Amino acid sequence: MSDLEAPLRPKRKKVWVDYFVQFRWILVIFVVLPISFTLYFLTYLGDVKSEMKSYKQRLKEHDENVQKVVKRLKERNPSKDGLVCTARKPWIAVGMRNVDYKRARHFEVDLSAFRNILEIDKERMVARVEPLVNMGQISRASVPMNLSLAVVAELDDLTVGGLINGYGIEGSSHIYGLFSDTVVAYEIVLADGRVVRATKDNEYSDLFYAIPWSQGNTWASCLCGDQAYSY
């Protein structure tokens, strides 16, 4: 063998990690994919169940869930419990943010029940939705009505609350702006348990403009947003 054909260094002996990487497709196909499919299917069933509820039932559940959040926040002792954060698990969230911040905020508020489309008003061209409503739910509800959100994110799993509180930059419009720019109003619960409605021109207008991209730091929880529609 000539010097040019000789390897620069001898090949490393394979260890178990090399075989694990080489045959990782077995784990992906027979373990990861079935688990992913099961989780997605269960989420889809939950979305369908939500869509089958009547308007009165959705509104009643919304009011009850709001009161649960208010009660939970009023139980908080600021001197002992620390800051407030949602109880949403890191592996559920669709985003790149490091979740270490939750380890320093021990008072969690569960918002998992807020996943209903409360109303789609075709005359006013707005929809009242809860923060965990995702793009797939909105599309299934609005397409039969020949409607579409003014700004539609391309992933079905992205939620309204996440697109508003996060950056949501992958779904933007030259006409309407970012996803958060199409919101008409927020119904929110403050850290002291007060429920307020923030719009561009009422007494909570400063809060209205502080919410987008805030990652939930300026308020306790987003309960409902009025989202603009377009034909």
Is 225 within 8 Å of 186 (Cβ atoms)? yes
Nearest CA among 115, 109, 131, 116 for reference residue 183: 131
| 223 has pLDDT over 70 | no
- What helix, strand, coil percent values describe the chain, rounded to 5? 40, 20, 40
- Predicted TM-score (pTM) of the model is 0.78
For residue 11, what is the DSSP state? P
Same domain, 31 and 88: no
For residue range 9-33, what is the model confidence (pLDDT) as tens digits?
Answer: 777 788 888 888 889 999 999 999 9
* Segments forming the whole domain that contains residue 91: 55-230
Task: Work out the average pLDDT over 167-180.
Answer: 78
Residue 196 lies in a domain: yes
Is 222 within 8 Å of 189 (Cβ atoms)? no
Same domain, 46 and 71: no
Task: Report the alpha-carbon distance of residue 189 to residue 118 in Å, rounded.
Answer: 17
Question: What element of type H or E holds 185?
Answer: strand 183-189
Question: Which range among 30-44, 53-67, 112-126, 156-170 shows the weakest confidence by mean pLDDT?
Answer: 156-170
Same domain, 32 and 92: no
In angstroms, the first-to-last Cα distance of the chain is 72
For 171-181, letters b (16+ CB in 10 Å) and e give bbeeeeebbbe
Out of 12-21, 87-96, 136-145, 159-168, the most confident range is 136-145
Same domain, 159 and 220: yes
Residue 3 lies in a domain: no
Residue 1 lies in a domain: no
Out of 87-101, 158-172, 189-203, the most confident range is 189-203
Which pLDDT score, from 0 to 100, does residue 93 have? 72
Which pLDDT score, from 0 to 100, does residue 78 have? 82
Same domain, 40 and 136: no
Task: Report the alpha-carbon distance of residue 108 to residue 182 in Å, rounded.
Answer: 29
CATH value at residue 193: 3.30.465.10
Task: Report the alpha-carbon distance of residue 179 to residue 167 in Å, rounded.
Answer: 9
Which pLDDT score, from 0 to 100, does residue 231 have? 46
